[in-house]
């Protein structure tokens, strides 16, 4: 008579590393590892097809890696007969299948899954242990301690704490080079004669090809191209791409971190956030590698610090914000914005060249770099007063690296300022001049960034001033907005009226 499995070890699709907490103290002779592809996870929003392929193929490759190491793996595929379509249902079925005595999992990255896991014991009839996800450098409890008593949470303060605590890029108690943050040195536009090294696409193997066929048959109506899928899905390929970034593109990353260019969606960016977020890269190893490259003289300080700030500072910070403020955070709407997203967010069919380029990149690659997301797509959504719930859903759907813990604070707080300034000290609103300065998008656009009123005026310009006028009561007292409002106060009544008329005319046509 079988005594069944001692423990069912559940691994989620964004926990694809051997060191994940749920797999520690595993007994290879008796324990079973469960990974399950479920309809609920592929459809709770209409994910980009490449995002679905990336997750499912990476899961299948990781399961094979575990099985090859001698572990017993129970892998449920999306099209398996009997698949309940929910994670809870598959955990319950696996407990029954293996006569498991308990379930061990690692805390998830999304609030809705955290809530779902609360019902696993009742669904399975066995004890369920949920362990801390210690892949992160700041635990949820540590962040809560830092945040206690604060009304506003400034990333710069948190980042300095993390640098000091970790010792990364430090000389004793002081930051290397004497400055904590070199963001001012990350803002060069891309010169015409600078050509970023290519990022090689990974040819899909048989496993990935099978997933592509499955996704093509099931999710063909989701926004996004599936042809040309080139993401890495194995640890070996991911680590090779990472090392190539450090050697080939990191040296110039600092200078051109905020640049944008037509036909070059990746520039000097690492494009490793999808891999980091699912567990195929380790943030501690990444930080150590970048610091070593700097100390070896292979990359300048503005590149090393700029990258480290994203991983050690911003990434940990937004995760902390997410868990500290959920579930109410998503419901905040500081500007009472309620406009529907324009149809071109799903087609890219617009005569605004910058938006056509950035949405086109998103459709083709399930990726756009952070300035495209923030200062073009997000800036436009902010200025038109788009409904935060709709914008959040769009960002969660279309990007391969979008898991809600990282997507929501970035979009809701950084992009839309919908949290009223809890996360960001000011709205990231900008006119067409910013886009002209940081990109070559305006060169082939029918609109002119130096014109505010008239048929050739860049819509961003009038929308920018409309946003400032409409939200003056909320924003005028913000010290970082003082210069903007001094400029606005010099407008004649006629100029203000013309600007508002121009903006409203555009919004009417948009609707």
| Contact yes or no for 307/283 (Cβ under 8 A) | no
Same-fold call for 140-197+249-325 versus 344-510: no
Say yes or no to pLDDT of 2 above 50: no
**Residue 4: its pLDDT value, please?**
72
The whole-angstrom separation of Cα 307 and Cα 298 is: 14
Q: Which pair of structure tokens corresponds to residue 52?
A: 């679905």
**Residue 185: its pLDDT value, please?**
76
Homologous superfamily (CATH) of 8-131 is HUPs (3.40.50.620)
Read off the pLDDT band of 288 (50, 70, 90). very high
| Contact yes or no for 277/55 (Cβ under 8 A) | no
**Residue 1: its pLDDT value, please?**
34
Distances, alpha carbon 340 to alpha carbons 394, 409, 421, 481, in Å:
11, 20, 23, 27
Longest dimension (CA), the chain: 89
| Contact yes or no for 232/202 (Cβ under 8 A) | yes
In three-state secondary structure terms, 334 is coil
**Residue 290: its pLDDT value, please?**
98
Q: What is the mean pLDDT of residues 10-32?
A: 97
- Render pLDDT for 227-282 as a digit per residue (tens, 0 to 9): 999 999 999 999 999 999 999 999 999 999 999 999 999 999 999 999 999 999 99
- Render pLDDT for 138-153 as a digit per residue (tens, 0 to 9): 999 999 999 998 888 8
- Render pLDDT for 153-163 as a digit per residue (tens, 0 to 9): 889 999 999 99
Please state the pTM of the whole predicted model.
0.96
Q: What is the mean pLDDT of residues 496-508?
A: 97
In this prediction, what percent of the chain has a pLDDT beyond 70? 99
Say yes or no to pLDDT of 455 above 90: yes
Residue 104: which H helix or E strand, with range?
A: strand 103-106
Read off the pLDDT band of 406 (50, 70, 90). very high
**Residue 3: its pLDDT value, please?**
59
**Residue 416: its pLDDT value, please?**
98
- Render pLDDT for 435-452 as a digit per residue (tens, 0 to 9): 999 999 999 999 999 999
**Residue 426: its pLDDT value, please?**
93
Homologous superfamily (CATH) of 344-510 is DNA Cyclobutane Dipyrimidine Photolyase, subunit A, domain 3 (1.10.579.10)
The domain 140-197+249-325: what is its CATH number?
A: 1.25.40.80
Read off the pLDDT band of 221 (50, 70, 90). very high
Say yes or no to pLDDT of 166 above 80: yes
Say yes or no to pLDDT of 207 above 70: yes
The domain spans of the chain are: 8-131, 140-197+249-325, 344-510
């Amino acid at each position: 008579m079988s005594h069944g499995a001692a423990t069912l070890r559940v691994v989620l699709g964004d926990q694809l590393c051997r060191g994940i907490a749920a797999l520690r103290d595993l007994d290879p002779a008796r324990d079973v590892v469960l990974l399950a592809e479920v309809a609920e996870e592929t459809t709770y929003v209409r994910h980009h097809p490449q995002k679905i392929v990336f997750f499912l193929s990476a899961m299948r490759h990781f399961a094979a890696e575990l099985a090859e190491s001698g572990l017993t793996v129970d892998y449920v595929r999306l099209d398996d007969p009997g698949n309940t379509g929910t994670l809870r249902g598959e955990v319950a079925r696996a407990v029954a299948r293996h006569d498991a005595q308990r379930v061990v999992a690692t805390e998830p990255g999304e609030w809705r899954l955290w809530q779902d896991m609360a019902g696993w014991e009742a669904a399975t009839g066995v004890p369920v242990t949920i362990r801390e996800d210690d892949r992160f450098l700041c635990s949820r409890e540590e962040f809560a301690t830092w945040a206690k008593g604060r009304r506003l949470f400034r990333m710069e303060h948190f980042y300095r704490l993390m640098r000091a605590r970790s010792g990364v890029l430090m000389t004793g108690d002081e930051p290397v080079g004497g400055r904590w943050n070199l963001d001012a040195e990350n803002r060069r536009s891309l010169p015409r004669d600078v050509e970023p090294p290519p990022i090689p696409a990974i040819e899909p193997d048989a496993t990935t090809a099978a997933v592509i066929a499955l996704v093509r048959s099931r999710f063909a109506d989701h926004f996004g191209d599936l042809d040309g899928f080139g993401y890495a899905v194995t640890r070996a390929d991911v680590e090779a791409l990472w090392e190539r970034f450090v050697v080939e593109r990191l040296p110039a990353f600092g200078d051109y971190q905020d640049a944008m260019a037509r036909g070059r969606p990746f520039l000097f960016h690492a494009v490793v956030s999808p891999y980091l977020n699912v567990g195929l890269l380790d943030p501690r190893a990444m930080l150590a590698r970048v610091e070593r490259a700097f100390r070896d003289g292979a990359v300048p300080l503005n590149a090393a610090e700029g990258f480290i700030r994203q991983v050690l500072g911003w990434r940990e910070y937004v995760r902390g914000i997410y868990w500290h403020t959920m579930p109410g955070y998503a419901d905040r709407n500081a500007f009472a914005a309620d406009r529907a997203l324009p149809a071109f967010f799903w087609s890219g069919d617009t005569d605004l060249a910058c938006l056509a380029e950035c949405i086109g990149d998103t459709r083709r690659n399930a990726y756009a770099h952070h300035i495209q997301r923030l200062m073009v797509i997000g800036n436009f959504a902010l200025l038109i007063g788009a409904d935060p719930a709709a914008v959040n859903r769009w960002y969660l759907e279309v990007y391969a690296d979008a898991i809600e813990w990282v997507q929501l604070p970035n979009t809701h707080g950084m992009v839309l300022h919908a949290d009223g300034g809890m996360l960001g000290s000011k709205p990231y609103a900008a006119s067409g001049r910013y886009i002209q300065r940081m990109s070559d998008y305006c060169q082939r656009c029918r609109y002119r960034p130096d014109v505010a009123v008239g048929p050739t005026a860049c819509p961003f310009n009038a929308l920018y001033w409309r946003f400032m006028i409409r939200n003056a009561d909320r924003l005028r007292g913000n010290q970082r907005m003082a210069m903007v409002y001094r400029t606005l106060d010099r407008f004649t009544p006629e100029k203000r009226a013309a600007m508002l008329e121009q903006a409203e005319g555009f919004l009417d046509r948009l609707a």
